[in-house]
Structure 1
Amino acid sequence: MNSKSRVTLASGSSIRAAILSGAEVPFDVVKPDVDEDEIKHQAKSDGIDLEKTAMLLAEAKCMAVATTTPGIVIGSDQIMEFEGRAYDKPKTMAEAKDRLLETQGAAHTLINAIAVARDGEIIWRNLDRPTLHMRSLSEEEIDQYLEEAGPEILYSVGAYQIEKLGSRLFDRIDGDHYAVLGLSLFPLLALLRRENILAY
């Protein structure tokens, strides 16, 4: 692969890498060195809304790698919004339980932002907002789910992995399934075709 057709995923996310691999997109992975908490804190202080904050994070991840990496670099971020508030990944299983107790029986949104750079300059942005409708769940059901799913769910901002056991927690999803997982695949594939990275 020459430098012009090189694709780099600026992310340490295994699910984002799995999405690209599943579509058989050739790519490398470079984990970006970005202080996400600082960006979120500054955005909140500046009164920046959650969609713009998600895009700022995606851009920061993208450019942290793109400044030293030729070709196409993909940065992405996801923010959970519930009743107008943003949520970070739960740090403990107790916090995960509280998250599920709070959101059960209601809908929440996952804001998925993607920024793509070519040779150090951002050329494309995409924003998706799938809505997830969670079933009404008893505390006993949530406890059983957490026991069976295990601490792996702490990698998910909503305390679930929709591609695994977490699918049982929902009635339906409105929007792009891949955006729920963390990377809006179809618009990204369209871009890679336009950039002559993919033949079809």
Structure 2
Amino acid sequence: MDPSALWLGSRPLLLASTSPTRRALLESAGLPVDTQSPDVDERALEAECGGLAPTELALALARAKAEAVAGRAPGRIVVGADQVLDCDGTVFHKPANAEAARHHLAQLAGRTHRLHSAVALIGADGVPETFVETAHLTLRPLDDAAIAAYVALAGADVLGSVGAYRLEGLGIHLFTQISGDHSTILGLPLIPLLARLRVRQLLAF
């Protein structure tokens, strides 16, 4: 069976993101994907949503991204996603530089944090459906020397993700325990998303 026959939509799924990781996850599941940047100012939206719980913030960001792209592409099936890292109620963003990355890792070392991965799915009717999945990750106790060595070795990877790590790279060395679906950790919970696409009769099985 040709993998492209899996998708029953008239046009490819439209991902409201330019994340290569999220696109790769969808394509690995056999889905044809177009991408479009949502051009959403995440930090400005977060400021407007002050006081939201981390899961609610992730949902608000995912929905804003999906709605921004759906507004420019009526009739398309659009997926927006966002991920929020929460450690005891404190939200972490991508580090701005290597110094910030070292600071983030020092705060997370020896503790368990949560990755809340939210998705907003908008169908041809323009109505968003949202959900969030959470993974729990525990970092090893790390001293300053270990953190500095990791940041130096990981290079640009520390700036591209919240928490200053990529599990699919050297970041795997930082952890003692991980609980949660791998795609949730990468920022796009595939199993619940595929279930919703199936309910909408957009998948062949």
**Shorter-chain TM-score: which interval?**
over 0.9
For residues 53 and 123 of structure 2, the distance between their equivalents in structure 1, rounded to whole angstroms, comes to 27
Q: SS of 1:79's equivalent?
A: strand
Larger deviation: 148-157 or 120-129?
120-129
For residues 36 and 122 of structure 1, the distance between their equivalents in structure 2, rounded to whole angstroms, comes to 22
- Give the residue type in structure 2 aligned to 1:136: P
Give the CA RMSD over aligned residues. 1.6
- The answer as to whether partners of 1:68 and 1:120 remain within 8 angstroms in 2 is no
- C-alpha displacement of 1:196: 2.6
Larger deviation: 5-14 or 52-61?
5-14
Normalising to structure 2: TM-score of the pair? 0.91
Superposed, 1:128-143 pairs within 5 Å as: 128-143=133-148
Q: SS of 1:129's equivalent?
A: strand
Superposed, 1:85-96 pairs within 5 Å as: 85-96=90-101
- C-alpha displacement of 1:2: 8.4
1:146 aligned to 2:151?
yes
- The answer as to whether partners of 1:112 and 1:184 remain within 8 angstroms in 2 is yes
> Which residue, 143, 156, 165 being the options, matches 2:161?
156
For residues 2 and 128 of structure 1, the distance between their equivalents in structure 2, rounded to whole angstroms, comes to 26
Superposed CA deviations along residues 136-169 of structure 1, whole A, max 9, x for unmatched, are: 1222221111111102221111000011110111
Residue 123 to residue 63, structure 1, CA distance change in 2 (3 Å) = closer
1:19 aligned to 2:25?
yes
- C-alpha displacement of 1:3: 6.5
Normalising to structure 1: TM-score of the pair? 0.93
- The answer as to whether partners of 2:63 and 2:128 remain within 8 angstroms in 1 is no
Larger deviation: 95-104 or 17-26?
17-26
Name the structure 2 match of 1:66.
70
For residues 11 and 199 of structure 2, the distance between their equivalents in structure 1, rounded to whole angstroms, comes to 12
- The answer as to whether partners of 1:4 and 1:72 remain within 8 angstroms in 2 is no
- The answer as to whether partners of 2:135 and 2:184 remain within 8 angstroms in 1 is yes
Corresponding pairs, count: 198
Q: SS of 1:186's equivalent?
A: helix
Q: SS of 2:44's equivalent?
A: helix
> Which residue, 24, 45, 52 being the options, matches 1:48?
52
Which 4+ stretches in 1 moved above 3 angstroms?
A: 1-6
Which stretches in structure 2 are left out of the alignment for 5+ residues? 1-6
- The answer as to whether partners of 2:8 and 2:202 remain within 8 angstroms in 1 is no
- C-alpha displacement of 1:103: 0.6
Name the structure 1 match of 2:36.
30
For residues 15 and 6 of structure 1, the distance between their equivalents in structure 2, rounded to whole angstroms, comes to 17
- The answer as to whether partners of 1:80 and 1:109 remain within 8 angstroms in 2 is yes
Which stretches in structure 1 are left out of the alignment for 5+ residues? none
Superposed CA deviations along residues 162-200 of structure 1, whole A, max 9, x for unmatched, are: 111101111111112111110001111112222232213
- C-alpha displacement of 1:63: 0.5
- The answer as to whether partners of 1:67 and 1:119 remain within 8 angstroms in 2 is no
